[in-house]
Structure 1
Amino acid sequence: MFPEANVTTNLTTPAPGGGCPPVGIQLEGVIMPPVLIIDVILGLLGNMFALWIFCFKLKAWNPNTLFLFNLVIADFLALVSLPLRIDALLRGHWVFGDGMCRINLFLMFSNRSASIALMTVVAIYRYFKVVHPHHCINRLTKRQAAGVSVVVWLLVVSPRIPMLAYNHIKGSGDRTQCFFFTSYKEASRAIIILVGMHRILTVLEFILPMAMLLFCSIRISTFLRKRQMGKPEKVRKAMRMCAAIVTVFIVCFLPTTVTTIGVWVIRSYRPWDCAAFYTFTQLTIVSLGLNFLNSALDPVVYVFSSTMFRKALLDAMPQVLLCKRNKDRKEASSSESQSTTQQELKSIPVNGGSEAI
């Protein structure tokens, strides 16, 4: 996935054998380590807390909760793989061998696909709950929801399994690198096909789910504004959930999709433009850091997507915050009660002294 280091070839001119030379670790070697470290710290803190709530605080589960729990699992798959990648970037080379390289790449790319698929499932499930409340999908049992989750995992993992079949280690000694795509012209036809399939998946698994997310969000908003005119808070809650998922989706996955298309276009229509190929390849690798930011932002999705999770989170808050929250509620209730009493007193007619006795 990450390109080979210590390359002294001029990257702006084609290599003697055709195509462009391998791209060395330069821009991502500076930007990626701190970005990935932040992703790991925030992601572990947020998802460990979310896992604790799911396992020990939720009194009952429903299909939506089960889908969100699978999203937590997908995030952990990425987070456990990132420390090895951070180490390789800081060292400047890969030291963990071929087997760990294959597993590392498999986990990283599977996380992207699984996160996208599961967020889409959550949005679609909410769409049917709101817009089509009598649809059979709303009667999913927990067992059926678990079956849906298994199918989703099979769909997203299957295209990534070929990664485990090939050696992705390049170089030797203290120059070894573990990467999925690197040079303009790959020696192995199998790797060319695999990289091409990866690029197609990267684009399709963004465009299609993004279209579905926007459709669900627009339909939910339109439906609630027409049918729930007297309940603006319900409209706001539903729209906050849709906005949270769409925002996380765009921030984390759009940059990689755009740069992947750029590399694809240059490789197909401007094979002589090595400078452009170098730039887009570097940007693609750097944008992968945003892919893993979704592991840190997904807990926000849990809060907006599940009322049960939100209530469990409030119950798990420190006692000091709970006391303050209860105090604010009591003060609001007392104020409302006083206001009601004053209104009732004003409404009592005063007809004479005998009425006042």
Structure 2
Amino acid sequence: MASEKDVPGLLNLTNTSMHCLSPQTLVASILPPILILEMIVGLPCNLLALWIFCFRLKAWRPNTFFLFNLLLADLFLLVGVPFRIDNLLRGEHWVFRGAWCRINLFMLAVNRSASIAFMTTVGVTRYFKVVHPHHRINRMGLTQGGWLAGLIWTVVVALRVPLLATNLLHWKENNLLCRSFDGFEEPPPGIKLHFAIFLGEFFLPLLMLLFCSARIACILRRRRLDRERKVRRAIRTVAVIVAVFVVCFTPSNVTGLAVLYIKRFRPQDCESFRLVGQLFSLSIGFTYLNSTLDPVIYCFSSSYFRNAVKSLISSLGVLELRSSGRSRHRSSASDG
């Protein structure tokens, strides 16, 4: 087993700068199977979605482009999660050095931020199409959509860059712990910003999506547009986005707030801090679930994507019928 001296740039835990730090054995035993299952389901779904976006879609609109960027955000997760699985299977012992620890956590944080940003963007654009159909946002072209997507990526990456500049590798009980949320007595500026973004990027977009849902519902009742296909599709899109948003991101924020509460008001209660900290880490499994559920959003949000999926399924069905027909023909010929 490596010692603390063998790891360059390791945060020294012999001082009192860390609070109630310990390996999370419960997380290491429960979370890996969940993450592996999410990868088994999510990886082929996202690769299929990538293939459809790149080779099957004949027409692109800003909404489609935002969904494609949501898929790109999921790729950060698909690259980063296998290293977290390896880390947990080793009993939460990081073996890939400090630089990759920072890069790995940066990629996972970018996935969360970008996913939330592009889901919110799709929901808001749907809101404008129903509630403000003559607004100039509805006349946004693909070029303007590209500029908006570029701005979103710039903000997301810029806000997460402090993770790359903060030492996130800690030594405790013969384990190298690679964590971005930890028991710092006095978190460095980069970690404070990370905390603030983690909470803010959840509550503000959630309020926006709930507002969009409520306004669309009011418009439906007031104008009696519930029978119009475009309006029904819009409300279903926003409803699916809100559902995925709540399922994937609520648990981590609720448990994260509980961790901050215990640290602020009961700093000596290390037992509760560690328990709630493990619940927070387990809730990250819901966060990573977003990459598995995002293809559902693509189908509900884009008629082009949905038609491409139907066309693909139909073509596969035709191939199967042709194959079975040929096999029956050969069987009858051999029988004759």
The aligned counterpart of 2:125 is 125
2:167 partner amino acid: N
Indicate whether 1:259 and 2:258 are aligned: no
The aligned counterpart of 1:176 is 176
Indicate whether 1:51 and 2:47 are aligned: no
Residue 17 to residue 59, structure 1, CA distance change in 2 (3 Å): closer
Residue 322 to residue 311, structure 1, CA distance change in 2 (3 Å): farther
The aligned counterpart of 2:242 is 246
Cα distance in structure 2, aligned partners of 1:282 and 1:41: 24
The aligned counterpart of 2:332 is none
Shift of 1:233: 4.8
Among candidates 297, 302, 311, match of residue 301 of structure 1: 297
What TM-score does the superposition give when structure 2 sets the normalisation length?
A: 0.85
Consecutive unaligned residues in structure 1, runs of 5 or more: 1-14, 325-357
**Secondary structure of the structure 1 residue equivalent to 2:188:** helix
Cα distance in structure 2, aligned partners of 1:317 and 1:176: 47
The aligned counterpart of 1:27 is 26
Shift of 1:98: 1.6
2:275 partner amino acid: T
Residue 268 to residue 215, structure 1, CA distance change in 2 (3 Å): same
The aligned counterpart of 1:64 is 63
Cα distance in structure 2, aligned partners of 1:230 and 1:250: 25
Q: Do 1:170 and 1:176's aligned partners in 2 also have CA atoms closer than 8 Å?
A: yes
**Secondary structure of the structure 2 residue equivalent to 1:181:** coil
Residue 265 to residue 43, structure 1, CA distance change in 2 (3 Å): same
Q: Do 1:206 and 1:253's aligned partners in 2 also have CA atoms closer than 8 Å?
A: yes
Indicate whether 1:283 and 2:285 are aligned: no
The aligned counterpart of 1:338 is none
The aligned counterpart of 2:9 is none
Larger of the two Rg values belongs to structure: 1
Shift of 1:213: 0.3
1:263 partner amino acid: V
Shift of 1:216: 0.7
Residue 259 to residue 214, structure 1, CA distance change in 2 (3 Å): same
Q: Do 1:123 and 1:216's aligned partners in 2 also have CA atoms closer than 8 Å?
A: yes
The aligned counterpart of 2:312 is 316
2:67 partner amino acid: L
Deviations 1:270-311 (A, max 9, x none): 112222211211111111111110000000000011111111
The aligned counterpart of 2:10 is none
The more displaced of 227-236 and 243-252 is 227-236
2:284 partner amino acid: L
Cα distance in structure 2, aligned partners of 1:73 and 1:17: 40
Deviations 1:50-94 (A, max 9, x none): 111111111010000000000000001111111111111112211
Cα distance in structure 2, aligned partners of 1:16 and 1:56: 56
Shift of 1:36: 1.0
Among candidates 203, 210, 215, match of residue 206 of structure 2: 210
Residue 229 to residue 146, structure 1, CA distance change in 2 (3 Å): closer
Q: Do 2:74 and 2:291's aligned partners in 1 also have CA atoms closer than 8 Å?
A: yes
Q: Do 2:62 and 2:140's aligned partners in 1 also have CA atoms closer than 8 Å?
A: yes
Q: Do 1:23 and 1:182's aligned partners in 2 also have CA atoms closer than 8 Å?
A: no
The aligned counterpart of 1:36 is 35
2:246 partner amino acid: I
Deviations 1:6-47 (A, max 9, x none): xxxxxxxxx995974312221110111011111212221111
Deviations 1:246-275 (A, max 9, x none): 110000000111111111111111112222
What TM-score does the superposition give when structure 1 sets the normalisation length?
A: 0.80
Consecutive unaligned residues in structure 2, runs of 5 or more: 1-13, 321-336
**Secondary structure of the structure 1 residue equivalent to 2:167:** coil
Among candidates 187, 194, 197, match of residue 198 of structure 1: 194
1:56 partner amino acid: F
The more displaced of 249-258 and 164-173 is 164-173
1:210 partner amino acid: L
The ranges of structure 1 where at least 4 consecutive aligned residues each deviate by more than 6 angstroms after the TM superposition are none
1:29 partner amino acid: A
Pairs aligned (count):
307
The aligned counterpart of 2:222 is 226
Shift of 1:229: 4.1
2:297 partner amino acid: V
